[in-house]
Amino acid sequence: EAGVAQSPRYKIIEKRQSVAFWCNPISGHATLYWYQQILGQGPKLLIQFQNNGVVDDSQLPKDRFSAERLKGVDSTLKIQPAKLEDSAVYLCASSSGTGGYYGYTFGSGTRLTVV
Amino acid sequence: DAKTTQPPSMDCAEGRAANLPCNHSTISGNEYVYWYRQIHSQGPQYIIHGLKNNETNEMASLIITEDRKSSTLILPHATLRDTAVYYCIVRVDNFNKFYFGSGTKLNVKP
């Protein structure tokens, strides 16, 4: 099966600019996650979708970050305006279910550099 | 927040077994232990998971203590390509959220 697709692979922007990341999960996976990974740290969960509804966005900085998952498939994560501390790898993951023993499949991520 | 504790780094000689420990002393009875690894510039990759019993697959073995407060991931014959950061994760609720700690950086040396 095809994996989780993310684009772009790399992005460099100036602070206060806007940026958007795109994720296409594995076909049929109902649950989609966005993680932020700062260099040297483990991934930090930003938001979780179940189909096209938000399950948890408690760690999403909502003053500048937004995410949507239209039609329960693709998802977009946006940052507006970006700050230097947003420099990180943004990882998308999907899962076929909740509860039980369902694991995640991750994409390769988008590396964002804010200068 | 992560419910696991792992050493920050470990070394292993190529061809030898790599044993990566993880403490999860507050684990609940219905929480699974998962292991993922992350090779440089890639997303985390699933390795193995378990609830109570020891598990083995083509990649690794997972040994969970009887009280479930700790576990060990075993790579039986480590290769240079196993150099990565290994994350031990306890799935914390029924909505399948994974909280990552800082992981263990495994360095496999020739």
The better pLDDT of the pair B17, A96 is held by B17
| B49, B51, B96 member nearest A99 (Cβ) | B96
A60-96 tens-digit pLDDT? 999 999 999 988 899 999 999 999 999 999 999 998 8
> What is the β-pairing status of strands B104-109 and B9-13?
parallel
Which pLDDT band, with edges at 50, 70 and 90, does B38 fall under? very high
Q: What is the mean pLDDT of residues B60-71?
A: 96
In this predicted structure, the answer to whether residue A109 has a pLDDT above a threshold of 50 is yes
Is some CB atom of chain A closer than 8 A to the CB atom of B52? no
A45 and B41 within 8 Å at the Cβ level: the answer is no
Give residue A100's pLDDT: 47
Which range, of A62-66, A88-92, A100-104, B95-99, averages the lowest pLDDT? A100-104
Q: What is the mean pLDDT of residues A84-111?
A: 85
A19-46 tens-digit pLDDT? 999 999 999 888 999 999 999 999 999 9
Rounded to a whole number of angstroms, the distance between the first and last alpha carbons of chain B is 36
Q: Which of A43-52, A83-92, A100-109 has the highest mean pLDDT?
A: A83-92
Which pLDDT band, with edges at 50, 70 and 90, does A102 fall under? low
Is some CB atom of chain A closer than 8 A to the CB atom of B43? yes
Give residue A85's pLDDT: 97
- Other beta carbons within 10 angstroms of residue A78's beta carbon come to 14
Q: Residue A56: its chain B contacts at CB < 8 A?
A: 95, 97
- Which distant-in-sequence residues (6+ apart) come within 8 Å of B80 by Cβ? B14, B108, B110
Q: What is the mean pLDDT of residues B51-64?
A: 94
CA–CA min distance A57, chain B (Å): 11
Tokens of A50: 């179940």
Which pLDDT band, with edges at 50, 70 and 90, does B79 fall under? very high
In this predicted structure, the answer to whether residue B47 has a pLDDT above a threshold of 90 is yes
Q: Residue B85: its chain A contacts at CB < 8 A?
A: 42
Q: Residue A50: its chain B contacts at CB < 8 A?
A: 95
Is some CB atom of chain B closer than 8 A to the CB atom of A10? no
Is some CB atom of chain A closer than 8 A to the CB atom of B46? yes
- CA atoms within 13 A of residue B72's CA, in its CB half-sphere: 9
